[in-house]
Amino acid sequence: MKKLLYVLAAGVLISCQTQSENTDMQTDNPFYQEWDTPYGVPPFGQIKNKHYSPAFEDGMAQHLKEVEAIAGNPDAPTFDNTIEAFEKSGDLLNKVSNVFFTLTGAHTNDSIQAIQKEISPLLSAHNDNIFLNSDFFDRVKALYEDRENLVLTIEQNKLLENYYNRFIRSGAALDKEQKARMREINERISVLQVQFGENVLKEENKFELLLEEDQLDGLPENVKTAGAEAAAEKGYEGKYLFTTHRPSLYPFITYSENRELRKQLKMGYIMRGDNGGELDNKEILREIVNLRLEKANMLGFDTHADYALQDRMLNTPDNVYDLLDKVWPAAIEAAKKERDLMKAMSVEEGLDIDIMPWDWWYYAEKIKVRDYSLDESEISPYLMVDNVINGSFILANKLFGLTFEEQTNIPKYHPDVRTYTVKNENGELVGIYLSDWFYRSSKRGGAWMSNIREQSNMDGNEVIPIIYNVGNFNKPTADKPSLLSMDQALTLFHEFGHALHGLLSECTYPSISGTATPRDFVEFPSQVMENWVFEPEMLAQYAFHYETGEVMPDDLVQKIRKAGTFNQGFGTVEYMAASYLDMAYHTITEPLAMDINQFEDAAMNEIGLIDAIVPRYRSTYFRHITGGYSAGYYSYLNSEIMDADAFAAFKENGLFDETTANAFREHILSRGGTMDAMEMYVNFRGRKPSYEGLLERRGFN
Ligand SMILES: [Zn+2]
pLDDT for res 376: 79
Give, in order, the Cα–Cα distances in Å from 581 to each of 142, 304, 587: 40, 14, 10
Residue 140 banded pLDDT, cuts 50, 70, 90? very high
Rounded to an integer, what distance in angstroms lies between the CA atom of residue 407 and that of residue 75? Answer: 48
pLDDT for res 247: 81
155 is catalytic: no
* Stretch among 141-145, 305-309, 438-442, 617-621 having the lowest mean pLDDT: 438-442
pLDDT for res 11: 31
User: Alpha helix (H) ranges present in 615-676?
Assistant: 623-626, 635-653, 658-664
Number of neighbours of residue 591 by Cβ within 10 angstroms: 12
The CA angle 373-356-222, to the nearest 5 degrees, is 50
pLDDT for res 186: 86
pLDDT for res 1: 24
Residue 19 has pLDDT above 50, yes or no: no
Rounded to an integer, what distance in angstroms lies between the CA atom of residue 47 and that of residue 413? Answer: 9
pLDDT digits 0-9 by tens, 623-671: 888 888 899 999 999 999 999 999 999 999 999 999 999 999 999 999 9
Distance 466 CA to ligand 1 centre (A): 18
Distance 486 CA to ligand 1 centre (A): 17
pLDDT digits 0-9 by tens, 653-663: 999 999 999 99
pLDDT digits 0-9 by tens, 524-565: 999 999 999 999 999 999 999 999 999 999 999 999 988 888
Beta-strand (E) ranges in 598-639?
none
Query: One-letter amino acid identity for 104?
Result: T
Residue 315 and residue 634 in contact, taking contact as beta carbons nearer than 8 Å: no
Residue 16 banded pLDDT, cuts 50, 70, 90? very low
Distance 448 CA to ligand 1 centre (A): 7
- Closest alpha carbon to 494 in 531, 443, 538, 454: 531
pLDDT for res 282: 98
pLDDT for res 373: 84
Q: What percent of the chain has pLDDT over 90?
A: 84
pLDDT digits 0-9 by tens, 296-351: 999 999 999 999 999 999 999 999 999 999 999 999 999 999 999 999 999 999 99
- Closest alpha carbon to 266 in 172, 143, 360: 360
Query: Average model confidence (pLDDT) for the chain?
Result: 93
User: Residue 467, SS3?
Assistant: strand
**What backbone phi and psi angles, to 5 degrees, belong to 595?**
-60, 140
pLDDT for res 5: 28
Distance 519 CA to ligand 1 centre (A): 10
pLDDT for res 29: 96
The CA angle 164-459-36, to the nearest 5 degrees, is 110
Record the pTM: 0.89
pLDDT digits 0-9 by tens, 461-487: 999 999 999 999 989 888 889 999 998
Highest mean pLDDT among 8-22, 190-204, 460-474: 460-474
Residue 421 has pLDDT above 90, yes or no: yes
- Please tell me what DSSP assigns to residue 475: P
Q: At what angle do helices 52-71 and 91-106 cross, to 10 degrees?
A: 140
Q: What is the DSSP annotation of 195-228?
A: HHHHHHHHHHHH--EEE-GGG-TT--HHHHHHHH
- Closest alpha carbon to 100 in 127, 130, 121, 120: 120
Find the catalytic residue in 495, 574, 600, 640: 495
pLDDT for res 465: 98
User: Alpha helix (H) ranges present in 310-350?
Assistant: 317-348
pLDDT for res 24: 52
Q: What is the mean pLDDT of residues 237-255?
A: 93
For residues 304-328, b (16+ Cβ closer than 10 Å) or e, as one string? Answer: bbbbbbebbbbbebebbbebbebbb
Distance 151 CA to ligand 1 centre (A): 36
Rounded to an integer, what distance in angstroms lies between the CA atom of residue 422 and that of residue 403? Answer: 6
Distance 636 CA to ligand 1 centre (A): 9
